[in-house]
């Protein structure tokens, strides 16, 4: 919205520079996008938030300037005249939820001509084109009070005035010269034969005020913000609709209309000759809020002098009631519909007082996570980074279509999503991982390895479940499967938990998927994304992915126990085997562990081989075993004896042969 400094000076005796004014109102919350000098005036273009419709008026802006500058506002209100009654025309509102109030004033004998220079300056500097003295007066009053008005040529109105919904296909030629076809969701002003205005938006050409107009009907009304907003589908947006969409002050409807009546009398020789209204006139809004000074200090973290508090509220248009050392009664003005409770007053006081004057302090934050889970997440994050993984953060909202495609459980739909692509809470971290991989591969970044610690959300019979989860994802060749499996094992070992192992898992969209179990409890899975699913996301590299339930992991982790480093050297021996493809490596590990006699330090796979001299259905495997004692140096004979027992035990197992 644009406001004129000369216009504002009608209500406040302001003597500060435009630069200083810009600084003051910006600090109070009215963002100045730009300001420029036009002739002898300064024009400011400001951003108005949707809840502050009172800033869409020069009086509203003047109150804000008064609050930040300490200079009081002086507003002269017009005399409200409602007699004589309008004869020969009735105002009929079909649905008062569309239009709670409609006021019409007949003004006779007007002389339509070019506006005086001061009036043209006021409207044009605010970005509104000057038309004639009648139209300019209605726009001037809108810019001053924030309530739009409209003037019809009274003699072009045939019969009574109706506020109704449009008929399907009803034609409408607006003042902008564009013809539109209306639908029933459009609210219109009509007479007995035709539509004469798109309510709250734009008038019709058929009742336009021109140089031949002698009598006018001055409209002032309240229109539903929702219904007004629907007219955007007709590709028309005006200064009037911009205000009606954000609500207008009900108490100012009569004031704006009466002021326009006075100006038309003064500058167009018009004579007030009839008054009519339909709907309900608003009752005076009386809302009193007790403001406790102690609560205010606690809320903003700083003590503000009571005198300054009262000055700020008064300049903003609030009236003050009973006062004591601890409490002040504050009466909310009718134009501040956004103020309902004490915290609203606290925010008004804080922003005008100046956030820069409030000392900084760290807030007290209550940890809403289960006890220890926050620290667990932090330490886990550090551990994963130490293994060379990068952390990602992805959106928790995804699309229902994607969730159904991945068959990842029943999700939670959003009631009012901003976009169809973001209408469901994720039930897995896989969606975010795929987005990250696809984006990076498109940027020619390959061999990705990353993790994410975040929550997933699922619907249950008795409500909803939010589960903290860990995902690790990798892209690349088949060696990444071993790397991911090894990282999971290292993670379990780091948490000092007994690894139960990996079991085959028939999971949709994955090949060779495995369940991850610790201490006989399933905590998650890992596997390779199948080619069909991968191609569906237009990803060219193999994807390896695991997802683990963090809450389960945190619940069974054990405290770490420290032990001294071995003082005596370790001794290694290799075993070369031919292993049947149906044999699990964990079975070989269990045999080695059972026969190592407490001297086992480490088991490593150092080589695998498929090719000549290997029986069909088998593959070559070389395992390195490290032996170490905490009490002495092991001799070759002792190690050979242990190693011999292990070799024998391994070859006794079906599906394993020594090479």
Return the CATH number at 142. Answer: 3.50.40.10
- The β-bridge partners of 165 are 187
pLDDT digits (tens, 9 = 90+) for 86-140: 998 999 999 999 999 999 999 999 999 999 999 999 999 999 999 999 999 999 9
Considering the domain architecture, whether residues 33 and 115 belong to the same structural domain is answered as: no
- Asked, for residue 436, whether it belongs to a domain, the answer is yes
Nearest to 115 by CA among 94, 95, 96, 129: 129
* Mean pLDDT, the chain cut into blocks of 10 residues (659 residues total): 95 92 89 93 92 93 92 93 94 96 98 97 96 98 98 97 96 96 96 97 97 98 95 91 93 96 97 96 84 93 92 94 94 91 95 88 58 80 93 90 77 81 88 92 91 90 86 92 90 83 86 87 91 89 93 82 81 92 86 88 88 86 92 91 92 89
Considering the domain architecture, whether residues 535 and 587 belong to the same structural domain is answered as: no
Residue 556 CA: distances (Å) to CA of 369, 521, 549: 17, 9, 11
Number of domains in the chain: 5
What token pair was written down for 78?
Answer: 């017009």
Dihedrals phi, psi of 116, to nearest 5 degrees: -65, 160
Q: What is the CATH number of the domain that holds 312?
A: 3.30.56.10
Q: What is the CATH number of the domain that holds 506?
A: 3.30.930.10
- Asked, for residue 79, whether it belongs to a domain, the answer is no
- The β-bridge partners of 180 are 172
What token pair was written down for 613?
Answer: 């001299």
pTM: 0.60
DSSP per residue, 369-404: SPTTHHHHHHHHHHHHHHTTPEE----SEE-HHHHH
Quote the pLDDT of residue 374.
79
Quote the pLDDT of residue 366.
55
What token pair was written down for 51?
Answer: 């809840």
- Asked, for residue 615, whether it belongs to a domain, the answer is yes
What token pair was written down for 264?
Answer: 């038309």
Distance CA(205)–CA(213), nearest Å, equals 13
Quote the pLDDT of residue 561.
74
Residues 6+ away with beta carbon under 8 Å from 20: none
Distance CA(220)–CA(557), nearest Å, equals 71
- Asked, for residue 529, whether it belongs to a domain, the answer is yes
Cα dihedral sign, 81-82-83-85:
positive
Distance CA(542)–CA(651), nearest Å, equals 35
CB 218 within 8 A of CB 107: yes
Considering the domain architecture, whether residues 111 and 214 belong to the same structural domain is answered as: yes
What letters, b where the CB count within 10 A reaches 16 and e where it falls short, cover 363-390?
eeeeeeeeeebeebbeebeeebeeeebe
Considering the domain architecture, whether residues 353 and 479 belong to the same structural domain is answered as: no
Distance CA(449)–CA(388), nearest Å, equals 8
Kind and range of the H or E run holding 14? none
Quote the pLDDT of residue 281.
84
Torsion-angle region of 396 (φ positive above 0: left; ψ -120 to 50: alpha; else: beta):
alpha
Dihedrals phi, psi of 372, to nearest 5 degrees: 85, -15
Considering the domain architecture, whether residues 35 and 63 belong to the same structural domain is answered as: yes
What token pair was written down for 270?
Answer: 């018009």
What token pair was written down for 574?
Answer: 């290799």
DSSP per residue, 29-42: T-EEEEEEEETTEE
Distance CA(467)–CA(481), nearest Å, equals 26
Quote the pLDDT of residue 375.
83
Using alpha carbons only, give the angle 112, 114, 116 rounded to the nearest 5 degrees: 115
Please report which residue ranges of 235-365 form alpha helices under DSSP H: 239-244, 252-268, 293-300, 306-315, 342-353
| End-of-domain residue from the set 309, 324, 357 | 357
Distance CA(179)–CA(172), nearest Å, equals 6
Considering the domain architecture, whether residues 313 and 421 belong to the same structural domain is answered as: no
Q: What is the CATH number of the domain that holds 575?
A: 3.30.70.380
What token pair was written down for 52?
Answer: 């502050």
Residue 93: alpha-carbon gap to chain centroid: 38
Residues 6+ away with beta carbon under 8 Å from 366: none
Quote the pLDDT of residue 370.
52
Cα dihedral sign, 401-406-412-414:
negative
What token pair was written down for 26?
Answer: 């910006």
Sequence length of the chain is 659
Nearest to 427 by CA among 462, 471, 461: 471
Considering the domain architecture, whether residues 176 and 262 belong to the same structural domain is answered as: yes
Considering the domain architecture, whether residues 520 and 591 belong to the same structural domain is answered as: no
Quote the pLDDT of residue 240.
97
Quote the pLDDT of residue 365.
55
Considering the domain architecture, whether residues 13 and 50 belong to the same structural domain is answered as: yes
- Asked, for residue 78, whether it belongs to a domain, the answer is no
DSSP per residue, 477-529: STHHHHHHHHHHHHHHHHTT--EEEEEE---TTEEEEEEEEETTEEEEEEEEE
CB 471 within 8 A of CB 430: yes
Residue 322 CA: distances (Å) to CA of 297, 305, 329, 331: 20, 17, 5, 10
Quote the pLDDT of residue 356.
86
What token pair was written down for 299?
Answer: 């809320």
| End-of-domain residue from the set 279, 313, 330 | 279
- Asked, for residue 411, whether it belongs to a domain, the answer is yes
- Asked, for residue 132, whether it belongs to a domain, the answer is yes
Nearest to 594 by CA among 655, 650, 639, 636: 650
- Largest interatomic CA distance in the chain: 125
Considering the domain architecture, whether residues 170 and 241 belong to the same structural domain is answered as: yes
- Asked, for residue 181, whether it belongs to a domain, the answer is yes
Nearest to 646 by CA among 632, 635, 656: 656
| End-of-domain residue from the set 531, 556, 581 | 556
CB 53 within 8 A of CB 146: yes
Provide the 10 A C-beta neighbour count for residue 153: 22
What token pair was written down for 338?
Answer: 């956004």
SS3 593: helix
Considering the domain architecture, whether residues 198 and 166 belong to the same structural domain is answered as: yes
Distance CA(358)–CA(10), nearest Å, equals 33
Range of the domain at 347: 287-357
Considering the domain architecture, whether residues 394 and 410 belong to the same structural domain is answered as: yes
């Amino acid at each position: 919205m644009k406001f004129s400094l000369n216009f504002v000076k009608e209500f406040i005796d302001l003597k500060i520079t435009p630069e200083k004014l810009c600084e003051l109102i910006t600090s109070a919350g009215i963002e100045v996008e730009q300001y420029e000098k036009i002739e002898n005036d300064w024009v400011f273009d400001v951003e108005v938030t949707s809840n502050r419709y009172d800033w869409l008026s020069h009086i509203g802006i003047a109150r804000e300037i008064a609050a930040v500058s300490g200079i009081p506002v002086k507003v002269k209100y017009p005399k409200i005249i409602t007699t004589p009654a309008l004869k020969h025309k009735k105002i009929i509102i079909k649905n008062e939820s569309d239009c709670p109030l409609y006021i019409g004033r007949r003004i006779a004998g007007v002389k339509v001509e070019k506006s005086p220079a001061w009036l043209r300056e006021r409207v044009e500097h605010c970005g509104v084109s000057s038309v004639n003295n009648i139209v300019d007066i209605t726009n001037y009053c809108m810019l001053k009070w924030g309530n739009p008005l409209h003037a019809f040529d009274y003699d072009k109105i045939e019969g009574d005035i109706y506020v109704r919904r449009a008929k399907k296909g009803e034609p409408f030629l607006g003042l902008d010269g564009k013809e539109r076809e209306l639908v029933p969701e459009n609210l219109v002003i009509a007479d007995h034969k035709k539509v004469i205005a798109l309510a709250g938006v734009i008038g019709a050409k058929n009742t336009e005020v021109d140089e031949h107009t002698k009598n006018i009907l001055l409209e002032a009304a309240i229109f539903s913000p929702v219904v007004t907003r629907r007219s955007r589908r007709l590709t028309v947006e005006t200064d009037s609709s911009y205000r009606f969409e954000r609500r207008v002050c009900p108490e100012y409807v009569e004031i704006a209309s009466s002021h326009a009546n006075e100006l038309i009398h003064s500058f167009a020789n018009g004579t007030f000759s009839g008054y009519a209204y339909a709907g309900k006139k608003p009752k005076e809004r009386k809302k009193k809020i007790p403001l406790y000074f102690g609560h205010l200090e606690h809320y903003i973290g700083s003590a503000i002098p009571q005198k300054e508090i009262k000055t700020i509220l008064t300049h903003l248009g609030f009236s003050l009631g009973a006062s004591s050392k601890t409490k002040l009664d504050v009466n909310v003005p009718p134009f501040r519909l956004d103020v309902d409770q004490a915290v609203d007053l606290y925010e008004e006081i804080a922003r005008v007082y100046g956030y820069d004057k409030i000392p900084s302090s760290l807030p007290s934050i209550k940890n809403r996570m289960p006890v220890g889970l926050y620290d667990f997440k932090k330490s886990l994050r550090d551990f994963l980074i130490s293994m060379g993984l990068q952390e990602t953060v992805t959106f928790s909202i995804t699309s229902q279509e994607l969730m159904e495609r991945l068959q990842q459980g029943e999700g939670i739909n959003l009631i009012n999503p901003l976009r169809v692509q973001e209408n469901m809470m994720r039930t897995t971290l896989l969606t975010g991982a795929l987005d990250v991989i696809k984006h990076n591969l498109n940027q020619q970044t390959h061999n990705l390895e990353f993790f994410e610690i975040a929550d997933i959300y699922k619907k249950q019979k008795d409500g909803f479940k939010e589960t903290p989860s860990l995902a690790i994802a990798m892209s690349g060749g088949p060696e990444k499967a071993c790397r991911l499996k090894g990282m999971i094992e290292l993670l379990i070992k780091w948490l000092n938990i007994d690894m139960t192992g990996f079991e085959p898992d028939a999971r949709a969209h994955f090949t060779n998927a495995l369940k991850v179990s610790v201490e006989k409890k399933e905590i998650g899975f890992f596997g390779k994304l199948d080619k069909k699913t991968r191609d569906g996301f237009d990803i060219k590299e193999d994807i390896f992915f695991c997802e683990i339930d963090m809450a389960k992991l945190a619940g069974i982790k054990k405290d770490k126990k420290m032990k001294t480093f071995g003082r005596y050297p370790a001794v290694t021996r290799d075993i070369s085997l031919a292993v049947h493809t149906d044999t699990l490596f964990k079975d070989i590990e269990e045999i080695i562990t059972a026969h190592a006699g407490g001297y086992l330090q480490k088991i490593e796979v150092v080589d695998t081989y498929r090719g000549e001299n290997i029986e069909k259905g088998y593959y070559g495997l070389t395992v390195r075993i490290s032996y170490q004692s905490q009490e002495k140096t092991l001799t070759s004979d002792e190690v050979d004896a242990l190693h011999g027992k292990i070799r024998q035990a391994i070859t006794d197992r079906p599906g394993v042969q020594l090479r």
